[in-house]
Structure 1
Amino acid sequence: MAHKLARLVETIVEQVATPYPVDRYLELVDPMITWRDARAKIVDVRRQTDRSVTLTLRPTRQWKGHEAGQYVEVSVVVDGVRHRRFFSPAGAAAHTDSLELTITAHAGGFVSRHLRENARPGMVLGLGAPAGDFTLPAVRPERTVLVSGGSGITPVLSMLRTLIAEGHTEPITFVHYARTPDDVPYRAELDALDRTLAHVDVQFHYTRTDDAEHFAPSHLDGLADADGAQVFLCGPASLMSAVREYADERGLSDRLFSEAFTIDTAPVLDPNQPITGDVTYTDAEVTTPNDGRTLLEQAEAAGLNPEYGCRMGICFSCTKVRKSGCTRNILTGELDSEPDQHIQICVNAPVGDVEIEV
């Protein structure tokens, strides 16, 4: 009854506040006073590596915490435009009073570079609800193997911290791949855990040093195939592919759980079906030759700036109407030519001539 009454009051207030939601008015007073939207204020900023920034956030009451391994939509206003991206919290699960994000600035990452260069205490970010199925099972594994590369460290670090916070004493192996030792955020913490907790084993492999080590089967032999072991994997496409191949060859695929931070958007080249046609962006009145890449990448190459979030088909913020033509979903390979359909331009590539409302 109380919940229904609160919802009724909320509806009445929003109707009175028309044409804008209540939170649009409240943020003029204080961005951290919200009726419905979740937000978070940056209270601490650390730059642990040359390419990353670690933010400690104090969220508003709407934040209910996350499960280890999940991701959350983060929005930031840059030059009057709100941009949305997805990042995985690095802290242990169940915390509702604080949130920790470590964001790696990539060459083409507009939001990640902005936060790396400009994040400061007092800045307020928008928060979405946590989502994603890359999580620890309710019954914790007898042996946990956490494998990450680059910025994929955050969700598996959240898993490690969660298990430790719960007092989990079964074996945990943390295997991380980075360019150099200086590129590992949380390196000091992980070294300390490796030294002080008998059941935690931390292994680093560096891919751009004199004795560079890329993934090799020996890195997981005796770990992933141990009785009761479950493997959680997050990292760049090359690492993900190598570990999946390893698991397939050893019959361990049912024990491997993974989350990708990036996807391979390179055109699939078939000599029997060459790339042809033009892409017409109807709103911009621009037409360019189809080069086989996703509609989002081709639009950006044409000088357009369509809205997007994750670039992985998760968030749906890049959804546009395909007026005509055929597209291929690069995740599933499915072809679709139904006119006037909403599609995600980050994971759809044109096949022949395509008209898209961009």
Structure 2
Amino acid sequence: MSIRFPELVGSIVEAALSPHPVDRYLELVDPMLTWRDLRAKVVAVEHPTPRTVRLGLRPTRQWQGHEAGQYVQLSVVIDGVRHMRCFSPANAATDAEGDLELTITAHDDGFVSTYLRDHARVGMVVGLQQAQGEFVLPSQRPAAMVFVSGGSGITPVLSMLRTLVAERYAQPITFLHYARTSEDVAYRAELAALAAAHPNIDLRLHHTRDAGDGHFTGAHLDDIAGFDDAQMFVCGPPALMNAVEEHYDTTGMTQQFHKEAFTLAAPIVVDPDAPVDGELSFLRSARSTTNDGRTILDQAESAGLSPESGCRMGICFSCTAIKRSGCTRNVLTGETDTEADTQIQLCINAPVGDVEIEV
């Protein structure tokens, strides 16, 4: 096994500065001066709509770039507590030298998104994780592309569209987007300009609240150029995703189908009449609480703990911890797990009776 020299030096330096990692000292000089941590500085702030904020981010040297459609975990400290959320870059695919563009919609219950909309400023430094996710363009570009998005789900498919335009992809592209009103389309002017400049782009904007043609119906897919050979990419809220998938299944469509959900679907409830009981013990924190049936992450936060978490949807795996004993239920699938000393995701698992967890 070989060890690279910079990593060896870093390990020696961190050992000498124990008990704190070297980055804890470097950030006192400059938050962007890091040895291991990936961070980003906010270099631009815009508000394209009343509900959104657009951030330009310049990552530190550890950044490895992103593929169109992937997401990143962004962390920000609010009132002394670090919070993590997942957002998809809207800019075209970049290498390690590229900046990031995030357009974030502040939802009514969006604690971090609302904070960023109201308080993000040029010069702010945020935490960042490397891009991840399988919702990406195929390496072999298909003969036609259909993008369907709703609300904040526009960002990953816009990244794909921008990437294809940069590559001078000349095959048919259909871009369907659903928003409450025309003013809620954060990239309305750019999309119109792209469609006007590129004859192969068919732009179809649908509005669900003002004078428009409302929510998705199969008719919105009519007369799409190259549709039989197209691949579909769908991203948005559950109602849109479910409507498109139902149409896909009932009509026997054969196009290759890719999807990415931006909100958590309603969990499956197993035996709703069963009583909730037991004690949830957080071993590392030496705390315990009476099980109230919610996810372990929610109960940990109510107990005053702050375990690392990201998407809260079960896709980013940032909130894993070791379950030492007890039974847990996956709230998405209803499956139970009784295995001891196993890694579980706190955001999508709830205790069933007594559970001990390393948090």
- TM-score, structure 1 length as denominator? 0.90
Seen in structure 2, the aligned counterparts of structure 1 residues 204 and 355 have a Cα distance that, compared at 3 Å, is same
Structure 1, residues 146-183: CA drift from partner, whole Å, max 9, x if none?
A: 11111111000000000001111111111011111111
Contact preservation (8 Å) 1:90, 1:102 = yes
Deviation at 1:323? 5.5
**Separation in 1 of the partners of 2:303 and 2:109?**
14
Seen in structure 2, the aligned counterparts of structure 1 residues 254 and 275 have a Cα distance that, compared at 3 Å, is farther
1:286 aligns with 289
Deviation at 1:191? 1.2
2:26 aligns with 26
Seen in structure 2, the aligned counterparts of structure 1 residues 316 and 279 have a Cα distance that, compared at 3 Å, is farther
Q: What secondary structure does 2:227 align onto?
A: coil
Structure 1, residues 101-151: CA drift from partner, whole Å, max 9, x if none?
A: 111112222211111110000001111111001000011121110111111
Pair 1:81-2:81 in alignment: yes
**Separation in 1 of the partners of 2:7 and 2:127?**
22
Q: What secondary structure does 2:228 align onto?
A: coil
**Separation in 2 of the partners of 1:253 and 1:82?**
44
Matches for 1:245-264 after TM superposition, within 5 Å: 245-252=246-253, 255-264=256-265
Q: Which amino acid aligns with 1:7?
A: E
2:337 aligns with 336
2:221 aligns with 220
1:5 aligns with 5
Contact preservation (8 Å) 2:144, 2:226 = no
Q: Which amino acid aligns with 2:31?
A: P
Seen in structure 2, the aligned counterparts of structure 1 residues 303 and 7 have a Cα distance that, compared at 3 Å, is closer
Matches for 1:138-177 after TM superposition, within 5 Å: 138-177=139-178
Deviation at 1:332? 3.7
1:56 aligns with 56
Pair 1:189-2:199 in alignment: no
Contact preservation (8 Å) 2:229, 2:255 = no
**Separation in 2 of the partners of 1:29 and 1:269?**
52
Deviation at 1:322? 4.5
Deviation at 1:212? 5.0
1:229 aligns with 230
Matches for 1:62-77 after TM superposition, within 5 Å: 62-77=62-77
**Separation in 1 of the partners of 2:188 and 2:16?**
52
**Which ranges of structure 1 fall in alignment gaps of 5 or more residues?**
none
**Separation in 1 of the partners of 2:198 and 2:274?**
55
Contact preservation (8 Å) 2:228, 2:255 = no
Q: Which amino acid aligns with 2:81?
A: V
Please identify runs of 4+ aligned residues in structure 1 that moved more than 6 A.
none
Deviation at 1:73? 1.1
Contact preservation (8 Å) 2:72, 2:129 = yes
**Separation in 2 of the partners of 1:267 and 1:88?**
27
Deviation at 1:27? 0.8
Matches for 1:194-209 after TM superposition, within 5 Å: 194-209=195-210
RMSD over aligned Cα atoms: 2.5
Q: What secondary structure does 1:346 align onto?
A: helix
**Separation in 1 of the partners of 2:321 and 2:28?**
31
Deviation at 1:16? 2.0
**Separation in 1 of the partners of 2:342 and 2:5?**
39
Contact preservation (8 Å) 2:267, 2:332 = no
**Separation in 2 of the partners of 1:127 and 1:249?**
41
Contact preservation (8 Å) 1:328, 1:335 = yes
**Which ranges of structure 2 fall in alignment gaps of 5 or more residues?**
none
Seen in structure 2, the aligned counterparts of structure 1 residues 35 and 299 have a Cα distance that, compared at 3 Å, is closer
Percent of residue pairs bearing the same amino acid type: 56
Contact preservation (8 Å) 1:225, 1:252 = no
Q: What secondary structure does 1:239 align onto?
A: helix
Deviation at 1:339? 4.1
Contact preservation (8 Å) 1:146, 1:232 = yes
Q: What secondary structure does 2:134 align onto?
A: coil
Contact preservation (8 Å) 1:224, 1:231 = no
Contact preservation (8 Å) 1:36, 1:62 = yes
Q: What secondary structure does 2:54 align onto?
A: strand
Deviation at 1:218? 0.8
Greater shift, 57-66 or 142-151, is seen at 57-66
**Separation in 1 of the partners of 2:190 and 2:339?**
52
Contact preservation (8 Å) 1:265, 1:294 = no
Q: How many pairs were matched up? A: 352
Matches for 1:305-316 after TM superposition, within 5 Å: 306-307=306-307, 308-316=309-317
Structure 1, residues 286-311: CA drift from partner, whole Å, max 9, x if none?
A: 32543xx54445666x5755432111
